[in-house]
Chains A and B, each alone.
Chain A
C-alpha cells in the first residue's frame, strides 16, 4: 500500500494529466449530452455574445456587398411573384407546408472538418433542432442545437451532414456529403449509373425529408468521378467453360459519385432563412 502511494506521489504529474485527459475525452465523445448542461449553455452564450458584438464592427465594411445581394434576391422574388400571379389557383393557398424566418450569421467557421455556424435566433423565436437553413442562393445547413437566444447550425461543409438531393433533369435521388477538401465542392453519392448525368446538370433538394422543401438550389454538376459503364467492362475467360462454376464479372460500382459545385458562397454568409415545416409532427408520427 505504502509503495502504491509513493508511486502516485512520485508520478503525480502523470496522474493529474491522465485524469484531466479522461475528463476532456468524455467531453468529446458525449458532447451531445453535455451540451444540454446549464453551465455550458451559460458559458457558450458569453462567447456568442462577444462574437456578436465584435461582428457589428465587421458588418460595416460589408454593407455594400450585403446590399447588392439583397437587391439581387429581391429581383428574383419579384419575378417569381409575377409568375405565380399569372396562374394562381385557390388550392395552393390552403396548402402551405413551410414557413420562413430570417436570421443573421454571428460566427462562421470553415477551417475544421465539422464546420458549424451560429445564428442569432434561438428557442425564443421558435427554432428547433433539424430545421433547414438556406440563403438567397442555396442551402447552408441544418440546425443541430438551440439555446435561448442562439442556435448552432451544422453547415453543409461538415463531414457528418447528409442531405437528400436529386438531379433536376432526370429526378434521380442521391445523398449529398462533403469530403473535407474544398469549400466550394460537395460530393453526391448513390446516383444510379443509368441516370445518364451530364456535366452542368443542376442539383436541387429532394424533398424526401421535411428539413428542406423540394426544389431549393444546391449547385451544378462539375465532374463525374466514378463512371464505369457496363459496355466498357470486358469479361475475359480462360480454360474450359464447362469446368467453371461461376463467372466472376467485375462490375465494381453500379453507382456514380458526382462532384457538385455549390451555388452558396460559404465564405461570406450574412442573412439566412430558417425553414420551419408546419406539419412535421404529423409526418414523424406516421413515419414511426
Chain B
C-alpha cells in the first residue's frame, strides 16, 4: 500500500511541474493548451478509496491553480471528475470494472476495446474542460465560445493524454 502512495506522489509532482512549466505555455493556434495533467486522474489506482482520491485530487487541482495564478477553478474541476470517475468507469466498462481494484491499469488498457478506452478518456476530458471554462468566465454571454473552446481543447488534450498513457504503459512492461 505504501508503494502505491509513493507512485501517486511521484506522478503528482511530475505532472504538476510538466503542466505548469511546459504545457501551460504551449498555445496551439494561440489560445489552446493541452491539459496533460488529467493523466493523473485518469490513471489513478482504483484500489485507493474514493474519499482519499477526492482529497488528493483537490490538492492536485490547487497545485495547478498556483501555476496559472487562478484560485479554485482547477480545484473544482479536478474534484468533480474525481467524484464522477467511478460512475464513468462503471458506465463505460460495465461488468469489466471492479471497484476493489484487483485489476491493474495495464489490464484495462490491454483487455478493453478501442471504443471503451476512447469513451472513458474523452468523457473525463470533456467534463473537466466544460467545468473549467464555464467557471472561469461564469457568464451566459460567452456560452458559444465556451463550447467551441471546450471541444477544440478536448481534442488536443485527448491526443496528448493518450500518447502519455501509452508511454507510461510501455515503461511499466
Indicate if the CB atoms of A114 and B72 lie closer than 8 Å.
Answer: no
Q: Which residues of B contact A44 (CB under 8 A)?
A: 66, 69
Q: Which residues of B contact A111 (CB under 8 A)?
A: 24, 26-27, 31-33, 153
Indicate if the CB atoms of A114 and B70 lie closer than 8 Å.
Answer: yes
Q: Mark A194-211, 1 if CB is under 8 A from B, else 0.
A: 000000000000000000
Q: How many residues of B contact A (CB 8 A)?
A: 37
Q: Using CB atoms, name the residue of chain B closest to A25.
A: B76
Q: Using CB atoms, name the residue of chain B closest to A111.
A: B33
Indicate if the CB atoms of B79 and A113 lie closer than 8 Å.
Answer: no
Interface members, chain B 58-117 (any A CB < 8 Å): 58, 61, 66-73, 75-76, 79-80, 83
Indicate if the CB atoms of B51 and A12 lie closer than 8 Å.
Answer: yes
The stretch from B3-11, B119-127, B131-139, B165-173 touching chain A is: B131-139
A152 to B38 Cα, complex, angstroms: 26
Q: Using CB atoms, name the residue of chain B closest to A112.
A: B136
Whether a CB of chain A sits under 8 angstroms from the CB of B142 is yes
A27 to B74 Cα, complex, angstroms: 11
Q: Mark A41-69, 1 if CB is under 8 A from B, else 0.
A: 00110110011001000000000000000
Whether a CB of chain B sits under 8 angstroms from the CB of A34 is yes
Contact pick for B21, options A13, A35, A51, A182, CB 8 Å: A51
Indicate if the CB atoms of B27 and A110 lie closer than 8 Å.
Answer: yes
Secondary structure class of chain B's binding surface, majority of residues: helix
- Given A111-B32, A113-B133, CB of A20 within 8 Å of CB of B69: no
Indicate if the CB atoms of A13 and B50 lie closer than 8 Å.
Answer: yes
Q: Which residues of A contact B27 (CB under 8 A)?
A: 110-111, 267
Indicate if the CB atoms of B66 and A113 lie closer than 8 Å.
Answer: no
Q: Mark A111-135, 1 if CB is under 8 A from B, else 0.
A: 1111010100000000000000000
Q: Mark B17-30, 1 if CB is under 8 A from A, else 0.
A: 10011001111001
Indicate if the CB atoms of A182 and B72 lie closer than 8 Å.
Answer: no
Indicate if the CB atoms of B79 and A24 lie closer than 8 Å.
Answer: yes
Q: Which residues of B contact A159 (CB under 8 A)?
A: 137, 142
Most buried by B among A54, A111, A114, A180: A111
Question: Shortest Cβ distance from B30 into chain A, in angstroms?
Answer: 4
Q: Which residues of B contact A113 (CB under 8 A)?
A: 133, 136-137, 142, 145
Q: Which residues of B contact A43 (CB under 8 A)?
A: 66
B residues engaging A (CB < 8 A)? Answer: 17, 20-21, 24-27, 30-33, 50-51, 54-55, 58, 61, 66-73, 75-76, 79-80, 83, 133, 135-137, 142, 145, 153
